[in-house]
Amino acid sequence: MLEGPHCPLCTSPDTADYWQDWRRSYRQCTRCELVFVPPQFHLTPVQERAEYDLHQNDPDDPGYRQFLSRLALPLLQRLPAGSHGLDFGCGPGPALARMLEASGHRVAVYDIFYAPDDLVLAGCYDFITATEVVEHLAAPGAELERLWLLLKPGGWLGVMTKLVRDREAFTGWHYKNDPTHISFFSRPSWRWWAGRVGAGLTFAGDDDMLLQKPPD
């Protein structure tokens, strides 16, 4: 019997078929409950960049800023004045970084396609944001671990991504139809990961998570 792909969040080999459509299949980890697309269905970097170039996320668009405020507002309530942060996966228009800067914080930006400055990944931050990012990651466990190491003790990781509810909802879920979306978290997934790193976890909204690194 052939072994299925290991979970890209917790590396468990215990994964099972979850759903299949005309384009690709989906598996779920039995340990952390991440739903993910096996590697053979992933886009190439060139194909992925072409999809992102189609997105219209204007940093000055009021609707887009309102969307981002679902994470920005609860995060701002928790940040000390003059904090230094990183907007990871900022895209071509770093709207969230601008919003946080307008509230008096310093924000570095990183994006593998649009702001690929590896020097910022050697920094140390009071907060890190990743809005509509983790669903694109082929190795979310490794990437989250990297971000967690960049956080100062007591710092905050703010994540926005739509969450898997159940298999029935998944079958008609528009979010899975984006070919760049390959890792789908659920509340149990975030609880598992928070437990692994010892993070305090707050669900700030339906699709918004705040994780605090333990203080020294």
> Which strands form 106-110's sheet, in the order they lie side by side?
106-110, 84-88, 125-131, 151-160, 208-212, 200-205
Question: How is residue 10 annotated by DSSP?
Answer: T
CATH of 27-36+59-212, one of 3.20.20.70, 3.10.580.10, 3.40.50.150, 3.40.50.1820: 3.40.50.150
What is the DSSP pairing of strand 84-88 with strand 125-131? parallel
Write down the domain spans for the chain. 27-36+59-212
Residue 3 has pLDDT above 80, yes or no: no
Task: Report the distance separating Cα 189 and Cα 58, nearest Å.
Answer: 31
Which tens digit of pLDDT belongs to each residue from 187-212?
A: 999 999 999 999 999 999 999 999 99
Q: Measure the CA–CA gap between 85 and 114, rounded to whole angstroms.
A: 18
Task: State the average pLDDT over residues 97-122.
Answer: 97
Confidence tier at 1 by pLDDT (50, 70, 90): very low
Q: Which helix (H) or strand (E) holds 19?
A: strand 15-20
pTM recorded for the entire structure: 0.96
Report the C-alpha gap between 106 and 2 in whole angstroms: 50
Contact 143, 137 (CB under 8 A): yes
